[in-house]
Amino acid sequence: MKKITNWYSIPYFLWVFLFVLAPVSLILYQSFFDIEGQLTLDNYKTFFGNRTYLRMSFNSVIYAAVITFVTLVISYPTAFILTKMKHKQLWLMLIILPTWINLLLKAYAFMGLFGQQGNINSFLSFLGIAPQQILFTDFAFIFVASYIEIPFMILPIFNALDDLDTNLTNASRDLGATEFQTFWKITFPLSLNGVRSGVQAVFIPSLSLFMLTRLIGGNRVITLGTAIEQHFLTTQNWGMGSTIGVILIIAMATIMWMTKERSK
Mean pLDDT over residues 115-127, rounded? Answer: 87
pLDDT at 208: 84
pLDDT at 5: 59
pLDDT at 221: 74
Q: Which of 62-71, 102-111, 232-241 is modeled with the greatest confidence?
A: 62-71
Residue 163: CB atoms within 10 A of its CB come to: 12
Which among 144, 152, 147 has a CA at the least distance from the CA of 108? Answer: 144
**Percent of the chain residues past pLDDT 90, beyond the cut:** 44
pLDDT in tens, 73-97: 999 999 999 998 888 889 999 998 8
pLDDT at 4 over 60: no
pLDDT at 35 over 60: yes
Mean pLDDT over residues 133-157, rounded? Answer: 93
Mean pLDDT over residues 62-70, rounded? Answer: 95
Q: Measured between alpha carbons, how far is 236 from 37 in angstroms, rounded to an integer?
A: 11
Q: pTM for the complete prediction? A: 0.89
Among the residues of the chain, which ranges form H helices? 2-8, 10-16, 22-30, 42-49, 51-84, 88-96, 103-114, 119-126, 138-162, 166-174, 179-182, 188-190, 192-207, 211-215, 224-233, 238-259
Which among 204, 202, 225 has a CA at the least distance from the CA of 215? Answer: 225
Do 215 and 111 touch, CB atoms closer than 8 A?
yes
Q: Measured between alpha carbons, how far is 205 from 250 in angstroms, rounded to an integer?
A: 13
Mean pLDDT over residues 116-135, rounded? Answer: 87
Label each residue of 149-184 as H, E or C. HHHHHHHHHHHHHHCCCHHHHHHHHHCCCCHHHHHH
DSSP designation for 129: P
Domains along the sequence of the chain with CATH: 39-259 (1.10.3720.10)
- Single-letter amino acid code for the residue at 206: S
Do 216 and 110 touch, CB atoms closer than 8 A?
yes
pLDDT at 118: 85
pLDDT at 9 over 90: no
- Please count the residues of the chain: 264
Mean pLDDT over residues 40-63, rounded? Answer: 91
pLDDT at 3: 58
Mean pLDDT over residues 215-223, rounded? Answer: 80
Average pLDDT over the chain, rounded to an integer = 89
